[in-house]
Homo-oligomer: A and B are copies of this chain.
Amino acid sequence: MDLNISVELTSAKKQKPEIDQLSFGKYFTDHMFIMDYDAGKGWHDPRIIPYQPISLDPAAKVFHYGQTVFEGMKAYKTAEGRILMFRPYKNLQRLNRSNARLSIPALDENVIMEALRKLVLVDEEWIPDEQGTSLYIRPFVIATQATLGVSPSEQYHFMIILSPVGSYYAEGINPVSIFVESEYVRAVTGGVGNAKTGGNYAAGLKAQQEATDKGYSQVLWLDGVHRKYIEEVGSMNVFFKVGGKVITPALNGSILDGVTRDSVIQLLRYWDIEVEERAISINELVEAYRNGTLEEAFGTGTAAVISPIGELNWQGDKLALNEGRTGPLSAKIYDFMTGIQRGTLEDPFGWVVKL
């Protein structure tokens, strides 16, 4: 694969948004990375160019058969001006697992890492440095071949775009209310639930919309087979503290193998807190809630890092967790994770990568 990334700088830099105007994935930086794939030729022409629209044939397979994958990661600027990323290779490995599941040709992780580094440095002045802000990085692949046969595309674009993002919560971390979904299903074992592909998110829109209408910020998905085991929340994995130990759904093939999830598990074990990865039924949680042992619940994901859950609505029953306030364990994990991500705390795991 060609490691030589060409760079064409913009002649007209955009105005940067005010920090308090930032919302998730709304503004994009001055440049983007793009690389093409053609069957027989492989991935070629890696290049950084001014951020601009892309032109595709209306028959491009991405418009019809959803052959796409993506990743989401962040870069932070420290007080001393260093640029840090959190476990980027984990995301690139997952990207290739998603590619394999969606019949998309593998990417060279070292080339992508170099593309990432170069692009972030080109747009370095876009990285906000206030507490809670960061540069969100969105690598993605789309199938571009212009034929309507249902088969893997013979042409693709791999792209990276960057978006400065504000604090996920206005003031630090705040508990969210979650609706436990009993009608719609997001994914099932044997399907593509553990790949980061567009169709999984499309499949969740309607449930998410109905939950929003009822005043809930996210849905908690149950498994598609028994319709009772906890899966994940919107774009977060989920953890529960029950009777002093922490439980989280095992990676069963239908949920995403979250980088934050993996990090939190390692962190808890580092702190000598017991963690179990296993099947957890909604009944087990309701039972624990009733007998007073369900102490805390929180979601984990790149966007919010840790998102404490203040309420779970299960078929109309409202379970208030830790009296609707952020639990002490959630807060402790949040402080540690964001501290090492921003370089204000020492990183005992070697997770942080300086660009």
> Footprint of B on A, CB under 8 Å?
23-26, 28, 32, 51, 53-59, 62-68, 70, 101-103, 136, 138, 140, 142, 146-152, 159, 161, 163, 183-192, 197-206, 208-209, 224-225, 227, 234-235
Contacts and interface: CB of A to CB of B under 8 A. Distances in A.
Contact of A163 (B148, B183, B198): B148
Contacts of A225: 188, 224-225
A58 B70 contact: no
Given A51-B58, A188-B224, A191-B203, A152 B209 contact: yes
Name the residue among A51, A159, A199 with the largest chain B CB count within 10 angstroms: A199
Contacts of A28: 58-59, 146
A102 B202 CA distance: 6
Determine chain A's interface SS by DSSP, over half rule: loop
A66 B198 CA distance: 4
A190 B197 contact: no
Contacts of A190: 183-185, 224, 227
Nearest to A221: B190
B198 A64 contact: yes
A225 B188 CA distance: 8
Which of A70, A192, A235 has the most chain B CB atoms inside 10 A of its CB?
A192
A147 B65 contact: no
A166 to B, nearest CB: 12
Contacts of A51: 58
Contacts of A67: 198, 201-202, 205
A193 to B, nearest CB: 10
Given A64-B198, A190-B183, A151 B58 contact: no
Contacts of A187: 191
A227 B163 CA distance: 42
B205 A102 contact: yes
A201 B66 contact: yes
Contacts of A235: 150
Contact of A55 (B53, B102, B198): B53
B68 A202 contact: yes
8 contacts: A26-B149, A28-B58, A64-B201, A66-B199, A66-B200, A67-B205, A103-B209, A184-B191
